[in-house]
Amino acid sequence: MYINRLIRSLFRFTRTLKGTIAIGLISLLLIISITMTKATAQSPGYGGSIAPRVWRQIQALEQEKRSRTPAQQKINSRLLYAIRARRRESFTRQVPYLRTSVKLNPQGEARIDIKTARGQVTAQLI
């Protein structure tokens, strides 16, 4: 008897806008929690299948991104990695198989497109 009354109340509640929103949010949170549980179970710290060498390379890439200066954050990652590989910086030894699509000429220069906030490339910028 009590359960029937509870179910009827729930159905009446879902007919209102607040009820629809509440049920939608609960459903969304349930889906997110299930998805996060599966994603967490697949991560290396929880018995995942990523090799330790690959995991170290991912961590090195994340560390490199966090260590960038504000000016470097505006530069394309592939260009930065190509420059660092040419200089043989220690970072490139941590990620030996990282390849970029950047083509450097024998002088170590690359042809790039420059985009500015105002759309003007001045001599000072170059």
Name every residue whose Cβ is closer than 8 Å to that of residue 95 and which is 6 or more positions away in sequence: 57, 60, 61
pLDDT at position 69 is 92
pLDDT at position 3 is 78
Mean pLDDT of 86-95: 78
Mean pLDDT of 107-115: 81
Model confidence band, residue 4 (pLDDT cutoffs 50, 70, 90): confident
Q: For residues 121 and 80, which has the higher predicted lDDT (pLDDT)? A: 80
CB–CB of 91/80 below 8 Å? no
pTM, 2 dp: 0.48
| 30-80: pLDDT as tens digits | 888 888 776 655 555 545 678 888 888 888 888 888 988 998 888 888 888
Cβ atoms < 10 Å from Cβ of 79: 15
CB–CB of 75/112 below 8 Å? no
Residue entry with tokens 């090195």: 60
C-alpha distance from residue 20 to each of 9, 10, 30, 107 (Å): 13, 11, 15, 64
Given a cut of 80, whether residue 22 has pLDDT beyond it is no
